[in-house]
Structure 1
């Protein structure tokens, strides 16, 4: 896998682009695809709260829009005031979206405060007994 520090750095670098005027909680994500390419995304809030999107789903959507269909790792950073002050695990919806594009036993999910201060789990650990495409004959 690409260096974890590089993946975390990509997420940290785009944190400044987060749009969170309502919660003040900024999040950025970087997704490593099987092609070796990295795609980023940030949370984008909306005055109509349900219309917002999480950084993880934004990064995955960016990757899919560029033709990617398989992710190997994701780094997530977040906190108030554009800082990566918290370990920021993905929400339930983001976990399910990740599941669509990976092997949950292999996907590395990294929540980081810096390039050297991070936690890592597999998606299977974060979303046990998950429902995936293979259950629909895919």
Structure 2
């Protein structure tokens, strides 16, 4: 595991603060995510469930939306936190969403608050990923 930094502590605090605001009445599994973006700002999001289950948002998706709304476009680092002892890693869909705005070397820290954090690169969580760099730019 990569060593945690002072920035990681700030990201953890932001992820935990927003996790307390999660709307998770069905799963009772509140998750928070905090992104350090390319503009140096921290953007946070929590999971938002819906009675029509597939219509909810994961915390990572909410944090990415906040980042885009804030004007940033690249993820420099992301911290995901949730309940329990096991690291709360992004789901497959969120791994792909993160890939849209991050490089395979980008560090994702996953944390179950009763256990130890796990720091892995996006490439380790999503090997052989498909990203925007695979697409050929369209001619104008």
TM-score norm. by structure 2 comes to 0.88
Counterpart residue number, 1:133: 132
Counterpart residue number, 1:87: 87
* 1:117 shift after superposition: 3.1
Question: Is 1:61 aligned to 2:93, yes or no?
Answer: no
* 1:110 shift after superposition: 0.2
* 1:86 shift after superposition: 3.7
Runs of 4+ in 1 over 2 A off after TM superposition: none
Counterpart residue number, 1:96: 96
Larger radius of gyration: 2
1:106-121 residue pairs with structure 2 within 5 A? 107-114=106-113, 117-121=116-120
Which stretches in structure 1 are left out of the alignment for 5+ residues? none
For the Cα contact (< 8 Å) 1:43–1:52, is it kept in 2? yes
Counterpart residue number, 1:122: 121
Q: Which has the higher contact order (CA 8 A, sep 6+)?
A: 1
Aligned residues: 132
Backbone CA RMSD of aligned residues: 1.6
**Structure-2 change in CA distance of 1:98 and 1:2 (3 Å):** farther
